[in-house]
Structure 1
Amino acid sequence: MPIRSASARWEGNLTEGSGTLKTGKGGLQGNYSFKSRFEEGEGTNPEELIAAAHSGCFSMAFSKGLADAGFTPTSVETVAKVHLDKTDAGFGVSRIDLETVGDVPGIDDATFQKIAEGAKENCPISRLLSPGATISLSAKLA
């Protein structure tokens, strides 16, 4: 299996500095700063990249689970909301909320929910993140 990479460059101190994030093959690249991470400033941040990875991984795993059960999805659209919280121990990701909508012809809601839950439990990014963060799921049929 291939090894995936990304890089980051930071210049300056924590609050006034700035940096860039770039995926290994250059598909995603963005600027980040203290304000884009801890406030509402322009740019991206590591938590958004985690959200992108998680929503992408979940959507693919869910699509596979649906197809394996005989329900080829027309589309699966997922938003991941990563919660960065400050505690006495410092900052940490405490929770990720997955919100997905699937357009899946011929499936009933109970089967849809069961397959969605399986994808949440078993996609590689969920398995990576679940020991340290609670992962919730809201799954709706389009």
Structure 2
Amino acid sequence: MSQLQANTITAVLQTLDSFSSLEMIDRRLLVLLLEEGTISRDILLKAADQKLRKVGRTAYVQHITSMVQSTYTIWPDHTLSAEAFAYALAHGEFTKNEERRIRFDHGDTIESFIASSEYAVDHLCQKTVDQWLDITPPPEHKWPKGDHDSYCPGCD
């Protein structure tokens, strides 16, 4: 592997780690790097794993902090990313002591939370990489008929 390729991979991984979502230009660049062989799908899957673990830990902190510092508990399925929380639990991100602190609503347990078909933790890395590589443009916004205002040039 050349130094340029290694530097490119490092830059891509840092970008993927620092953003919650990728802009279209970032996605197109990612697809190009993949097509050119500069990065591999395995590298992207590893980056997705690291990102999901990190976001899962953040969701854990949100849950625990809410129980300690608030009158309102943010349950695991209501955290900023329940999917990532379930993924991190399934992949051993937490110590046994940390796991014992987690409280669930709806009668859930760690096992049932992980097993929820809603989160599909077995395919979450693949799903994440697929989202990163999706370069489908967003749908064009259509203004409702009769919506006339001075801030909408060209609206009919």
Length-normalised TM-score, structure 2: 0.33
Which structure: greater strand fraction? Answer: 1
Structure with greater contact order relative to length (CA < 8 Å, sep ≥ 6): 2
